[in-house]
Amino acid sequence: MKMSSYLLAFGLFILTGFTSCKKDDSSTPSTSGMIQGIWKVTSYIDSGNNETNHYTGYSFEFKSGGVVTATKSGSTVSGTWSTGSDDSQSKLYLTFSTAPFNELNDDWHIVQQTTTTLQLEDVSGGNGGTDYLTFSKN
């Protein structure tokens, strides 16, 4: 009887250990503070097509609270941004509702980040193409 009680206690200990260690996809990496500020798109390659010109002249401001604005000549479009991780990869999530900015809606893998450059990549699930987006800080 004592042996079965010990085995039961040991089994519960092991089970508790495995269930309490789960992956957190919503964690925010320390890079989010570095993303805040005013940036410009210096490169946007959509499945091999250079579409950088769609964003020429726009200033993108990543504000605290998850708001991103794109401004050009007094015209402003708002969207949302957040950071997180998925499968141990840091991500930047962008969402806009207005064209052409909705082309940037995705969970971008942060390839490289410095204080002045943010290089992003997304492998599309639908057509298998790869998109590349680079922001440079103003």
pLDDT value of residue 112: 95
pLDDT value of residue 123: 85
Q: What CA–CA distance (Å, rounded) separates 23 from 87?
A: 8
Q: Bin 9: left if φ > 0, else alpha if -120 < ψ < 50, else beta.
A: alpha
Exposed/middle/buried for 39, CB within 10 Å: 0-12, 13-18, 19+? buried
Residue 130 lies in a domain: yes
Q: What CATH number should be reported for the domain holding residue 97?
A: 2.40.128.20
Residue 23 lies in a domain: no
pLDDT value of residue 97: 94
Residue 34 lies in a domain: yes
Q: How confident is the model over 72-108, as pLDDT tens digits?
A: 999 999 999 999 998 888 999 999 999 999 999 999 9
Domain that holds residue 37: 28-137
pLDDT value of residue 32: 59
Residue 74 lies in a domain: yes
Count the domains in the chain.
1
Residue 49 lies in a domain: yes
Residue 22 lies in a domain: no
pLDDT value of residue 110: 95
Q: How confident is the model over 52-63, as pLDDT tens digits?
A: 999 999 999 999
Residue 18 lies in a domain: no
Half-sphere exposure of 120 (CA within 13 A, CB side): 27
Residue 115 lies in a domain: yes
Q: How confident is the model at residue 3 (pLDDT cuts 50, 70, 90)?
A: very low
Q: How confident is the model over 12-40, as pLDDT tens digits?
A: 344 344 333 333 344 333 445 678 889 99
Is the predicted pLDDT of residue 71 greater than 80, yes or no? Answer: yes
